[in-house]
Amino acid sequence: MARFKPKPKPKPRKRRKMVRFRDRAKCRFCRENITYIDYKDTQTLQKLVTTRGKMLSRKRSGNCAKHQRAAARALKRARFLALMAYVS
Amino acid sequence: MPTGKQTRVYEAMFLVDTRDAAIWDDLTKHIEGILARGSAELVGITRWDERKLAYPVAKHKRGTYVLTFFQMSRGDGVSGIERDCRLSEKILRALVLKADHFTVADMRAQLGEDIREDVAKKVMDARGEKEPPPPEADADGEEAAEEPSAKEAAADKPPDAEPAPPKPPESPEN
């Protein structure tokens, strides 16, 4: 009696495109060779915060340590001048 | 005025009440006075933006941002300027930062026409910066001038072909 059906062979996994990895290999500021993150550039800073105004972690923003520190500095300056919210 | 000593360029952003910013000459005089008391030499002052504040500051929901660049002797310090800003009734917030990373071209981009060319030249001389080459801008201008003429030339040709399409729709109606 054939009680146990033979398991179907697993489909071969599709290979992910390497371009995607290469794109994310560097942080967004490293990719564009940005050395200074300006506190006046609120459009860029908005991308680095949540809807509540809290700063994204490095894991979520993809920033390198150097640019994460620079972004944090810029964000704090922008918050002081009421360009960005502390909390919302 | 900075003479002899090593100078440094600073960037200062002032947040002021929109009503005070409406009387622009008075406000600039006020800010220039504060900077002059701190023996600073103004590179430029401009109205950066007028916008809704992210949170109310001294019960103001809107504010005008005034951006300035100034140079000062290294020993003088910015603490005097910051103290004067805190005491000022017109200035709601002030942020003074070192602007050594900004070239004169960057400052010109931010200040626009409000830059003081004589002071900007002094800064450039002190830093050993060179002026951006103007011939390239002229060359671009020439190219830009040439492009429309080419487009015009191209635009001149199509009209012969263009009148033809409207005719077919007329024929089915008839």
Q: What is the ipTM of this complex?
A: 0.72
* Nearest-CA distance A65 → chain B (Å): 20
Q: Which domain holds residue A69?
A: 35-88
Tell me if B55 and A83 make a contact (CB, 8 A cut-off): no
What pTM was computed for the model? Answer: 0.73
| Residue A11 located in a structural domain | no
Q: Check: CB of residue A74 under 8 Å from CB of residue A40.
A: no
* CATH code where residue A80 lies: 4.10.640.10
Q: How many structural domains compose chain A?
A: 1
pLDDT in tens, B21-69: 999 999 999 999 999 998 899 999 999 999 999 999 999 999 999 999 9
> Which chain B residues contact residue A88 at CB under 8 A?
54
| Residue A21 located in a structural domain | no
| Residue A27 located in a structural domain | no
Nearest residue on chain B to A34, alpha-carbon basis? B101
Domains of chain B: 7-127 (3.30.70.60)
SS3 assignment for chain A: CCCCCCCCCCCCCCCCCHHHHHHHCCCHHHHCCCCCCCCCCHHHHHCCECCCCCECCHHHHCCCHHHHHHHHHHHHHHHHCCCCCCCC
pLDDT in tens, B85-141: 999 999 999 999 999 899 998 999 999 888 888 888 888 888 887 776 665 655 554
Q: Check: CB of residue A82 under 8 Å from CB of residue B57.
A: yes
